[in-house]
Amino acid sequence: MKGIGGWLLVYVIGSIPLMLFYSAGLSGWFFEYPAALMAAIFLAFAIPLLLILRKSPGAPRWNIALLWTASILITLRIIYGVLFQRIMEGQPRLNSEELLAALPILLGIVIFSLGWAIVWTKYFKNSVRVRNTFS
């Protein structure tokens, strides 16, 4: 099997909303979610996806790097948001109730992000389609 199809196409299509989510989260790290910064982050994250569509030989490596970079950055963003952001804004820390309410969602995001990176890294490293398309 060769070409952009099967699970590789699922990856490209499924990554677009995830990259939008990452872009929004990261653009709000230190600023008030500026649209231009969000668009710039999204475009940077979209470059490895474009490499897949162009069948660039380096596409698998770039996408693995993207997966782990985005996953680590969104995890750091969440940790910063929970532990430091309110203090930096002159507000009190989250109380126990607020933390317990937010934790399942935030842990879900981190677990999904890491899971997404693990699954697709294995796919890029082991897939016959990927090997045939990008070698």
In this prediction the pTM is: 0.89
Q: Distance (Å, rounded) from C-alpha 37 to C-alpha 27?
A: 6
* DSSP result, 39-92: HHHHHHHHHHHHHHHTT-TTHHHHHHHHHHHHHHHHHHHHHHIIIIIHHHTT-P
Average pLDDT value for residue range 124-131? 96
What is the count of structural domains for the chain?
1
Tell me, what's the pLDDT at 118?
Answer: 98
Give the residue numbers spanning the domain of 114: 6-134
Q: 12 near 2, Cβ under 8 Å?
A: no
Interval 45-76: pLDDT, tens: 999 999 999 999 999 999 999 999 999 999 99
Tell whether 54 is covered by a domain.
Answer: yes
How long is the chain? 135
129 pLDDT tier (thresholds 50, 70, 90) = very high
Neighbours of 50 (CB within 10 A): 13
Tell whether 30 is covered by a domain.
Answer: yes
Q: 82 near 106, Cβ under 8 Å?
A: yes
Tell whether 63 is covered by a domain.
Answer: yes
Question: Going by C-beta distance under 8 Å and a sequence separation of 6 or more, which residues neighbour residue 2?
Answer: 129, 132, 133
Interval 81-103: pLDDT, tens: 888 888 888 888 888 999 999 99
Tell whether 1 is covered by a domain.
Answer: no
